[in-house]
Structure 1
């Protein structure tokens, strides 16, 4: 039975048995002895971080103890210190963006050292083995041709793709094996670049610029703007988190209702949703596609907001990112395909027409009444676009008040034309659905009775079924509309209007309007501003002791008299406009 030791290695906490700890300790001492003093601490930090990552991958839980077996496996990956002795080589060639032939697997990072802004293009250049210049050209073309799509894509990748900071991450970015020799080589290259930059500096120029007050002012302004930008970014991040979380909750609830109600075909919600499902695809599949195509982008926006708010937020990993991206693309393509099918299912409109003459004499008045069925509704002014119901024979039907009444003028005898309309994926399919619409009307004793509803079988589904009633009347015909007729009257083809909600008035069909015959004057006539400026000729008849005096004068008259005659004391005023 061995003792266990708790250690902190590269920022990770491990339980390790005493033999494994001693071997790991000797391994670190051997590495330190094999390294030169220059950059030794940084190299050791990178080596410890890499070993900690390897051990974390091998342990199944945080409570598992690291044994000699795991230490031997890590040493086999990292290599023995005596096997790697790097000599300084001033002629080491610069790194180029070519595909590596090493056995190490690459990971996607941002390379800010070789990047122009955030290092996105340089990082992708390492990952796919392509010069970042071509990637920058592609981003510029996307920005110009795609209305800024390149900028949006760059910013999103800048936020989501982590930066290669440690030596191990820089090696993973280029696909080089993370071994002791490569870590030491990378660190030495970094020291070499820094030394070259220092040697090439104009020290006098730096000294002069350091003394310049303008540089200090510029630095202060930059710091102020940086603080403001950080605060603004935090606010934006909070807004993104709140709205994306609300959207996620909404889409999860909606999608799960669609998925789980599919197992209960007789539920009202399922029947309602399935009536609008023109594609006949399973409801659970539609719910799943809706969840994936909308939920995944909302999830990424949620992570984006969290990343803005939390500086050290751990990434979900490139595998998870690209997996979700692939699933989202597939679900979006399928949803677009179903959307196209959904649109084509009502792409054509078919109708069935029924025409019937109306027998009216010259002195007859046509009464129009909307009637309702109290089995479906207890009032005639109900307005239901679509509803499931049962008729008196307990047959499941679709009930709708989608009825339109149009009054038009004709030079022929009066008649009524009923058009039953429905949508479909073809003209023949739409006509078949229109034929299955049930609608009743009746002409009896100069009265036109119109149903205010239509019915169709639930198997026909909802395909924008409606009934259009066209009432063709000769000029001069007098009509008496019922109380609810104005709720269904449309004036798409004429300027005919009715007084709202009143069945007391009679109207005469004229060329341009329905003339109300018995409406109150203040309701029937509108004030015309031209009347105030019109010039009237007034004849004044004065009766007094001197006899009768008749006088005509012209003046602007704004007072209106119904009969055209006004009495004022001993005057009779006759307006002859």
Structure 2
């Protein structure tokens, strides 16, 4: 049983057993003696203690864990013994520094180098990290800032906030990728003292005195503090937005993923419809999981970036986690692309089959009634996608019902009624599309003199949604009189040429007869309106139930208008919009009014029958 001692290294409390404590105390005392007469010894010792505390912290899994002799030996091995560096430096003053080939250099860490700064030390820190002269980084910043219209200034400010400053000797060595041991700490501290000494020797004290009197800070320091203050405010605001956006998106995606997985297990109708439109045979849970990773991982990094902005000393998630997430994201995106390609390939070909039927109408000498019949399935609670619907038939089996129907009414070439149904579908090949089209069911019924056509088609659920559709053509013999009932069918899906140019939505309002020219002839429409127009639409003659309207215009601007209706007769003649003759005769012929004008002369005459 060993006694435990509490020690304080670099203001950090550690628990250490007595044997390890004695060994560490002897080591620090020997280090202290070796730097007894060295300039800056206090700073060197402070940095060494800070590094030892850092190494202990890395090795301990729990703050309550006790440091043993094993951990002390490992730390001493890393830091090195003091006698390894107690040599006369002048002997090796002209010798190049020795570098061990077997010793691997430490990985550099990114810090801001405020010792070589112009503004915040971002450029010099980046230069240390990539191993180039800071001058090139600063020139690159200038070029990018000019080229972006000043946009890279915001990036500089963001890096100013995110990149920590190298303040301790350990951080400065980390910035250069050098080992943090006694030798390098001593050298770095001595370099700092030598640099200070050189600056002191070259100082013009009178000039410095004047500067101190005028201002305690340089222009860039003051400007930097002001800019830094605003960037910190903006940075914190951006960090909050990133955290909220990232967290809300990830939580929403996670809830959606869990919902889809549970719904798939419970066979909820909304998820079942996925199998109808899916042509890749990829499970819905897998597609949902891939979608979750493809969207959530980028937002996780946005969340992490926001936390880095808000929390200065946030611990890194590590390169292993970063590259693992990146690899998972790439795999998810690639799998989703493959899924999309397979979906598109399933609709890359189109084919059709045509079914032809002869219709046995009871008596074509009397009017034939044509009607569109809607599906008897209950639309409520069903899943829709465009014209396609997943529902149940009369037997309770799941079927796909589509309203993608078009109807054309044409003249038959003989005295028999014909029905032609062209069924069309998509597929991964022409044969696959044709087989899918063959499995489309379209129905009709003949009931005496009634032709009942379905305004829908059906197909089995296993055939999936392949853009199934039907084009129905009804051929009617010449001279047959018919009535048409559109029902709930969309009238714009009907095509029937007629002699009155009546819109297809209104043909059900009248009785028709199939003409020899293939046009339907209206049997009870009002008198036909005659509308004759030449190519330039100058001359129009209209005859309808309201009367006769004649309008004649020539290229010279002269016009003649005559209108005959229940009010009488009106005749006007004009020349370039100037009225020349105006004659009005009432319906009884008892009153005639004549107005005439020729140049500046005009005449008005009224004739009334006694």
TM-score by length of 2: 0.66
Q: How far apart, CA to CA, are the structure 2 residues paired with 1:351 and 1:27? A: 90
* Alpha-carbon distance in structure 2 between the residues aligned to 1:211 and 1:473: 109
Cα–Cα, structure 1 residues 174 and 218, in superposed 2: closer, same or farther, change >3 Å?
A: closer
Question: Where do residues 187-198 of structure 1 align in structure 2 (5 Å cutoff)?
Answer: 187-192=189-194
Match of 2:393 in 1: 391
Matched, 1:549 2:591: yes
- Partners of 2:511 and 2:311 lie apart in 1 by 72
Equivalent residues of 2:111, 2:166 under 8 A apart: yes
C-alpha change, 1:219 and 1:132, in structure 2 (3 Å) is closer
Describe the SS at the equivalent of 1:306. Answer: helix
Greater strand proportion:
2
- 1:238/1:379 Cα in 2 relative to 1: closer, same or farther (>3 Å)? closer
| Greater Cα offset, 338-347 or 482-491 | 482-491
What SS does structure 2 have at the residue aligned with 1:449?
strand
Q: Distance in 1 between matches of 2:251 and 2:184?
A: 47
CA apart distance, 1:100: 7.9
Q: Could you list the runs of 5+ residues in structure 2 that have no partner in the other structure? A: 527-550, 552-558, 563-569, 571-582, 597-607
SS at match of 1:420: strand
Contact 1:125 1:132 in 2 (8 A): no
**Equivalent pair of 2:85/2:183 in contact (CA under 8 Å):** yes
Distance 1:105 1:329, change over 3 A: farther
**Match of 2:351, SS?**
strand
SS at match of 1:540: strand
Contact 2:246 2:299 in 1 (8 A): yes
The answer to whether structure 1 residue 179 and structure 2 residue 221 are counterparts is: no
Give the aligned length: 522
Task: Tell me if 1:233 matches 2:235.
Answer: yes
Distance in 2, Cα, partners of 1:173 & 1:309: 23
**Is this contact kept in 2: 1:402–1:465, CA < 8 A?**
no
Correspondence 1:540 to 2:584: yes
Tell me how far apart the structure 2 counterparts of residues 357 and 309 of structure 1 sit (CA, whole Å): 79
How far off is 1:179 after superposition? 1.7
Deviation of 1:302 after TM superposition, in Å, equals 0.6
Once residues 131 and 470 of structure 1 are traced to their aligned partners in structure 2, the CA distance between those partners, rounded to angstroms, is: 81
Alignment of 1:1-80 (within 5 A): 1-10=1-10, 12-35=12-35, 37-80=38-81
Equivalent of residue 122 in structure 1, options 127, 152, 166: 127
Provide the C-alpha distance between the structure 1 equivalents of 2:94 and 2:511, rounded to a whole number of angstroms: 103
Q: 1:489 maps to which residue? A: 493
How far, CA to CA, are the matches of 2:207 and 2:410 in structure 1? Answer: 93
Distance 2:374 2:561 in 1: 50
- For residues 95-174 of structure 1, the aligned pairs below 5 Å read 102-110=103-111, 112=113, 117=122, 122=127, 125=130, 166-172=168-174, 174=176
SS at match of 1:485: coil
Q: 1:371 Cα deviation (Å)?
A: 1.5
- Alpha-carbon RMSD: 5.6
The corresponding residue for 1:438 is 441
CA deviation profile, 1:145-201 (whole Å, cap 9, x unmatched) = xxx999999999988776665443444455543321122223434555566677678
**Inter-partner Cα distance in structure 2 for 1:303 and 1:409:** 68
In structure 2, do the counterparts of structure 1 residues 224 and 61 end up closer, same or farther at CA, with 3 Å as the change threshold?
closer
Distance change >3 Å, CA 237–CA 450, structure 1 → 2: farther
SS in 2 for 1:456: strand
The CA distance in 2 between the partners of 1:197 and 1:108, in whole Å, is: 28
What CA distance in whole angstroms lies between the structure 2 residues aligned with 1:411 and 1:140? 81
* Structure 2 CA distance for aligned equivalents of residues 421 and 353 of structure 1: 9
Compare 289-298 and 472-481 and name the one that shifted more.
472-481
Asked if the contact 1:167–1:183 (Cα under 8 Å) also holds between the matched residues in 2, the reply is: yes
Structure 1 gap segments, 5+ residues each: 519-530, 555-570, 572-577
Structure-1 residue corresponding to 2:530: none
Distance in 2, Cα, partners of 1:169 & 1:285: 46
User: Are 1:458 and 2:461 matched, yes or no?
Assistant: yes
Cα 1:351–1:294, aligned 2, differ >3 Å: closer, same or farther? Answer: same
Contact 1:420 1:468 in 2 (8 A): yes
Q: Over residues 277-316 of structure 1, what are the superposed CA-to-partner deviations in whole Å (9 max), with x where a residue is unaligned? A: 3222344433332232222111101111122222332222
What displacement does 1:241 show?
1.5
Please say which structure displays the higher CA radius of gyration.
Answer: 2
How far the C-alpha of 1:235 sits from its partner, in A, is 2.1
1:107: Cα distance to partner? Answer: 4.8
Which has the larger displacement, 157-166 or 387-396?
A: 157-166
Change (3 A) 1:46 1:396: farther
Cα-to-partner distance string for 1:38-58 (whole Å, 9 max, x where unaligned): 444443343333323322332
Counterparts of 1:27-426 in structure 2, within 5 Å, are 27-35=27-35, 37-85=38-86, 87=89, 102-110=103-111, 112=113, 117=122, 122=127, 125=130, 166-172=168-174, 174-192=176-194, 223-258=225-260, 264=265, 266=267, 268=269, 270-354=271-355, 367-374=370-377, 376-377=378-379, 385-397=387-399, 399-405=400-406, 418-426=421-429
Larger displacement relative to structure 2 (413-422 or 202-211): 202-211
Change (3 A) 1:85 1:402: farther
